[in-house]
Structures are given as structure tokens and as C-alpha cells.
Chain A
Amino acid sequence: MGFELPSILIADGGGLMNLKACLIVAVIIFSIGAWGVVARRNVLTVLISLELMLNAVNLVFASFARMHANMPHEAGNATAGENGQIFALFIIAVAAAEAAVGLAILITYFRNNETVDTRDMTELKQ
């Protein structure tokens, strides 16, 4: 690696930061994001909250990947923990794609209906 991280950002264990804490933080953020999806009327806010949820999930993946970092490796498998981070990478990619497409749909809808309020979007109603 080219440069060293400042020591404040190097977690070397034996402190507050452990798996449980990370997961609790992730759950809290996820719940906040879920609340935003369910309870907000503005579609844009809903989409933003969706991103929030995806980020929380990313945090969970990264924490579990860290958990695997020091676990004894099987022979020849030096990258057990990186699988979690790779998956988190994919989630970022997918989130980006989904945000783009979702916003495109929103723009088209807005062009036709002049509203971004979910209470006015009731075409699915029987």
C-alpha cells in the first residue's frame, strides 16, 4: 500500500468496536431507511431512503468480512474475508444502476402526471 492510514482509523481491537456494535448501527440505519420508505409521500425521499437501506446492508457485509479476516484460513485460501467486501462492491454497483433506472422512471412518470406524491399514484388500485 502506498500510504499508511492515520492511527485513529486503525481498529486494532480491544475496544468498543466489535461485531455487535457494528451490526447494531447497521440495524438502526436500516430501520430508519425502512421507515422512510414506508412513511414518506414524496417519491424522491422514498428513493433516497432506499439508498440508506442499501448502505446499511453494505455495513453488515463489511463487518462480517472483517470477522473472517483473522479466522484461520484453509490451505490456499488466503482471501476468505474478501468475499464479503466483493459482495458489498456488487451491491454498490447494483444500487447505482437501480437508482439510475428508478429516477428515469420517476422522471417519465412526472412528465405524464405532474405529481410525485405517492398518494396520487393509485393506478394499481382495484
Chain B
Amino acid sequence: MSDLAFILAAIVCIASAVLIVSRKNPVYSVVYMLPFFLGMTTLFVLLNATFLASIQMIVYGGAILVVFLFVIMLINLRPEELRDDFSLKSWFMTCVGAGLLAATLALFSQNGTTNEMEKSFYQPVAVQKDKTGADVVFGSIESIAHPLFNKQMVPFELASVLIVVATLGAVLLSKKRI
């Protein structure tokens, strides 16, 4: 059954991706971002990355999508300014790129991954025990928090610095008068 979920989620992702990049009106693109994020979330859950899935939905769907929408409203393009993009040359290049992609995928599906790598996917995730003897559920919030606050402390702090800087930067950049 999880196969069905996987296939559906994959189709949703790919279809909404195609729709995102091909709309003339950026508002439509943003609209189609939502099913895309939902599909991604499903995929993450299927991969036992539950915490990641929730963060993905909250941050992307709740913040980034909204920011994009705000900016589009701010820019306020009139419909006639949305000119048509596509020319013969770019269709040609697209076909070339698509062919390249198809070739790559074909090659990849033959000998891209080894059995050793695939082994884990054919079994359910076992619950392991950590040093203190407590259960470690893969992908849960505890199991992510442990490394995040111990071994990966520095990237964590740096990420927070990055976010602060980005906030300040965004505010500064978009002021009309400094």
C-alpha cells in the first residue's frame, strides 16, 4: 500500500513541478507550489523523516509560499506585461535537455545503486537502542535533536546567525529610504 502512496506522491510532485515552471502568471506558479510541497511532505513521511516532513510543510508551505505571494502582489504586474516566453530555439534546447535527462535516467536505472545500498529499503526501520538504553526512533524529533545539539551544535548556531542576517538584510534591502 505504501507503494500506492509513493506513486501518487511522486506523480503529484512531478505534475505540479511541471505546472509551476510553465505558467505565464506567477500567481499560478505559486498556487501550484502548494500541492508540490504536500507531495514532498508525503515523500518525506514515506522515508521515515517525519520531523523533516513537518518542518518542510511549516516552513515552505507556511512561510516561503506566503512570502512569494506577498511579493507578487507587491510587484503587481498587469497581465499584458506578461509576455510570451517561448521561441523555437528554446524549444529545441528543451528537447535536447530532456533527451539528456532521459539518457541519464536510463543509465542510472540500470546500474545506479548497489544492492548493499538498497538493502535498507527492503526492510522496515528497526528501532535501535542508544547509549543510555532508550529507544531511538529513526527520524523522530528526539533522534534529530540529539546530534543537532551535541555534535552538530556549530552548524545549528551558524544557521541561526544566517537567519538573523538574512532578516536584517531583507529589511535593509527593501527600505525605500535607509
Contacts and interface: CB of A to CB of B under 8 A. Distances in A.
A67 B26 contact: no
Contact of B147 (A55, A67, A86, A90): A86
Contacts of B33: 48, 51
Interface residues of A, number: 84
A25 to B, nearest CB: 5
Contacts of A121: none
Contact of B75 (A63, A82, A89, A107): A107
Interface in B115-154: 117-126, 128-131, 136-140, 143-144, 146-148, 152
Interface string B2-35: 1111110010011001101101001001100100
A15 B2 contact: yes
Nearest to A44: B26
A44 B152 contact: no
B100 to A, nearest CB: 9
B122 A18 contact: yes
A54 B175 CA distance: 28
Given A18-B118, A96-B166, 8 more contacts: A13-B122, A31-B101, A35-B97, A41-B83, A52-B21, A66-B120, A104-B171, A107-B71
